Structure 1
Amino acid sequence: MPPAKSTPTPTAYMVPAVDRSVRILRLLQRRQQLTVSDVAQASGIGVSSCYAILKTLQHHHLVAFDERAKTYRLGLGLLELGGAVSRDFVFVETARAHLMDFMRTTRLTTFVVARVGHERLMVVDKEEPGGDVRISIAVGTRFRVTEGLSGRCFMAFLPEAECDSLLKSVGLTPFAGLPAPTVRAYRAQLSAAREAGYVALTESPISGANGVAAPVFDSEGRILFALTAMGLSPALASKAIAETGASLRQAADAITKVLGRG
């Protein structure tokens, strides 16, 4: 009997030059502006290969070159690609109006988080209030599915079997300044979130931040995105958590309803 054929993993099809290009773009995302030597040193890619990749990316406007400083940075061509992605996700425009309304009413930083891998989430849109004192988070920020308010929102509203699998593979991530909960306590928190319709955080010992997160579902009832709102305790007092959470859940439900009609 012939041996069973194994299914190749995605990495089996990776093209080295493309992989190096993506690594360089990710590096420029983190480090803003770098010389060819900086890129080579940080990425472990040879200088000549870095130079060729950077010039190719520059040709396609995915990176820009500063003649005076001799440094490279991310290019405007990425905005065009990002815009195309945004157009493909109907929720972005749908959610933005609700985000802006919620932010204007509450003066809280409000953002949309999507799942971009089995164990990873990413901030895909945000609205921030003006002023010098506020919580800020960059679009494109990635984190583990069990991490933070948004992670707990996903975990609370995922199917139970999938949640159990992620607990085993990813593990628990505590809120900033707090010890990691036991699995039993974590499950109790998820249960409370499902009952309330949102996840809440009250006064992290490190940041003094409060926040709420509510789920947006697809037409089949699976969590698609998390709407998350955060503010320092003066902007979002502990006593206002329930009211704010209910308000955010209403915004999430409105988006779910629009997406269901699409």
Structure 2
Amino acid sequence: MDSRIPDTPLAGPERAAGHGRDVGAVVHAIAILRYLAAAAQPLGVAAITRGTGISASTCFNILRTLTRARFVSFDEARKVYALGLGVAELATRFFGISHTELIRPELQRLALKHGMLIALWRVTEDGHIILADRAHNPHGVRVEMSTGIRLPMLVGAVGRCIAAILDLPEAELRERFARLRWQSPPSFESYLQDVRAARDKGWSMDDGHLYRGIVTVAALITDPAGRPRFGLSGITIAAQHDPAAFPLLGEDLREVGCSAGRALFAARPGPDLP
């Protein structure tokens, strides 16, 4: 199995605004730290090189720097590396902070980037989604939604994404769809087509069905078992944005959802060891 970490560009305000390219050494250092975090035991340089796809000389130099900064520890006897105390120092301030608080900076970044309301929905055990947090763009006309709003979990753009994850038998999905309330209901066939598209793309869109005149684009944050834990949605008044902007928003929401899922929930399986 190829256990190399994929080449994923960093997501941040500077990158989003197009202010230049990522710094290669930093990207490699992050890849190494993530690989060590996923490992079941300390690893040697050769294993880290194979797993990350970084050249041996570059990998060794970065590991040496990280060791001096205490982000990585080095076992002289076994010649292996593991995460160090420096990582724990950075993580300490996050202990006790809720998932909502940790995700909020990403909501704010996306709201500014895309010029619309960005909402975080918590998926409940009783089959609903509840608006847990939201961020606004301070400029221009905007949609307002109050935290605490509760909706059936299969409705709207978030609901299409959840339906895609649950992969229910068509007969059961049709039965549950019939109980949903929309201001301008789509046909079941159209809804099912959107669910299938969401399964392929990782995001979905509701164009005026849940609320007339409102466009919503959504993606999910899932745990390692694939269970939907949160929904992320961009919400705007129809005709306020060029239609070409919505697929770009969908991809951004999907990317943030994947990153948040990895960061907030249980560790990924460890890499193959030599």
TM-score by structure 2 length? 0.55
Instruction: Kindly indicate whether the alpha-carbon contact (under 8 Å) linking 1:146 and 1:172 is maintained by their aligned counterparts in 2.
Output: no
Q: Distance in 2 between matches of 1:194 and 1:105?
A: 25
How much has 1:133 moved relative to structure 2? 2.2
Quickly say closer, same or farther: Cα 1:192–1:257, change in 2 above 3 A: same
Q: Secondary structure at the match of 1:243?
A: helix
Q: Identify which range, 151-160 or 217-226, moves more after superposition.
A: 151-160
Which amino acid letter does the alignment assign opposite residue 126 of structure 1? R
Quickly say closer, same or farther: Cα 1:164–1:223, change in 2 above 3 A: farther
Say what the alpha-carbon RMSD is for the aligned residues.
Answer: 2.7
Q: Distance in 1 between matches of 2:211 and 2:122?
A: 26
Identical positions, percent: 20
1:55-100 CA distance string (max 9 Å, x none): xxxxxxxxxxxxxxxxxxxxxxxxxxxxxxxx97742122111111
How much has 1:165 moved relative to structure 2? 4.3
Quickly say closer, same or farther: Cα 1:110–1:186, change in 2 above 3 A: same
Q: Secondary structure at the match of 2:244?
A: helix
Instruction: Kindly indicate whether the alpha-carbon contact (under 8 Å) linking 2:186 and 2:209 is maintained by their aligned counterparts in 1.
Output: no
- Does residue 259 of the first structure (1) align with residue 264 of the second (2)? yes
Instruction: Kindly indicate whether the alpha-carbon contact (under 8 Å) linking 2:161 and 2:202 is maintained by their aligned counterparts in 1.
Output: no
Unmatched tracts of structure 1, length 5 or more: 1-86
Q: Paired residue for 1:228?
A: 233
Which amino acid letter does the alignment assign opposite residue 223 of structure 2? D
Quickly say closer, same or farther: Cα 1:166–1:191, change in 2 above 3 A: closer
Taking CA–CA contacts closer than 8 Å with sequence separation of 6 or more, which of the two structures ends up with the larger relative contact order? 2
Quickly say closer, same or farther: Cα 1:226–1:205, change in 2 above 3 A: closer
Q: Distance in 1 between matches of 2:213 and 2:232?
A: 20
How much has 1:196 moved relative to structure 2? 1.1
Quickly say closer, same or farther: Cα 1:172–1:248, change in 2 above 3 A: same
Indicate which of 142, 145, 157 corresponds to 2:165: 157
Indicate which of 158, 169, 173 corresponds to 2:180: 173
Q: Secondary structure at the match of 1:140?
A: coil
Q: Paired residue for 1:102?
A: 110
Q: Secondary structure at the match of 1:139?
A: coil
Q: Distance in 2 between matches of 1:112 and 1:136?
A: 13
Indicate which of 86, 104, 124 corresponds to 2:132: 124
Q: Distance in 2 between matches of 1:247 and 1:159?
A: 23
Quickly say closer, same or farther: Cα 1:210–1:150, change in 2 above 3 A: same
Q: Distance in 1 between matches of 2:262 and 2:239?
A: 33
- Does residue 141 of the first structure (1) align with residue 146 of the second (2)? no
Q: Distance in 1 between matches of 2:115 and 2:150?
A: 24
Which amino acid letter does the alignment assign opposite residue 127 of structure 2? E
How do 1:187-198 and structure 2 match up within 5 A?
187-198=192-203
Q: Secondary structure at the match of 2:134?
A: strand
1:193-232 CA distance string (max 9 Å, x none): 1111101123559743222100101122211111011112
Q: Paired residue for 1:239?
A: 244
1:19-60 CA distance string (max 9 Å, x none): xxxxxxxxxxxxxxxxxxxxxxxxxxxxxxxxxxxxxxxxxx
Quickly say closer, same or farther: Cα 1:152–1:129, change in 2 above 3 A: same
Instruction: Kindly indicate whether the alpha-carbon contact (under 8 Å) linking 2:155 and 2:210 is maintained by their aligned counterparts in 1.
Output: no
Q: Paired residue for 1:219?
A: 224
How much has 1:167 moved relative to structure 2? 4.6
TM-score by structure 1 length? 0.58
